[in-house]
Amino acid sequence: MSESMASPSRRREATRQKLLDAAAQVFAEVGLDAASVEEVCERAGFTRGAFYSNFESKDELFLELAGRVSLSRVEAVRARVRALEQDGALNGGETKALQVIQQVLDTTASDRLSVLLMSEIRINALRNPGLAAASLAQEDELLVSVTQIVDDISRASTLVCVLPAADVARVMLTTWESASVRAVMAGLNHTQMREFVSAELAIVAQLVIRPPQS
pLDDT at position 94: 45
Alpha helix segments (H runs only) across the chain: 8-30, 37-44, 48-52, 58-87, 97-104, 112-125, 129-156, 165-185, 190-208
How many CA atoms, within 13 angstroms, populate the side-chain half-sphere of residue 169?
Answer: 21
End-to-end Cα, the chain, rounded Å:
59
Q: Residue 160 pairs with which residues in a beta bridge?
A: 210
CB-based contact 97:212 (threshold 8 Å): no
pLDDT mean across residues, the chain:
81
The model's pTM is 0.74
Q: What is the mean pLDDT of residues 166-186?
A: 91
Spell out the domains of the chain, with CATH numbers in brackets.
1-55 (1.10.10.60), 66-210 (1.10.357)
Alpha-carbon distance 31 to 103, whole Å?
34
Q: For residue 75, which of 162, 141, 3 has the smallest C-alpha distance?
A: 141
Range of lowest pLDDT (113-122, 152-161, 162-171, 175-184): 152-161
For 80-121, the pLDDT digits (tens) are: 777 877 877 666 544 555 566 666 666 655 678 878 888 888
Residues 6+ apart with CB under 8 A from 1: none
Q: Is 35 left (phi over 0), alpha (psi -120 to 50) or beta?
A: beta
For 35-70, the pLDDT digits (tens) are: 999 999 999 999 999 999 999 988 888 888 877 877
Range of lowest pLDDT (47-56, 122-131, 161-170): 122-131
Sign of the torsion formed by the C-alpha atoms of 35, 37, 40 and 43 = negative
Q: What is the mean pLDDT of residues 114-130?
A: 84
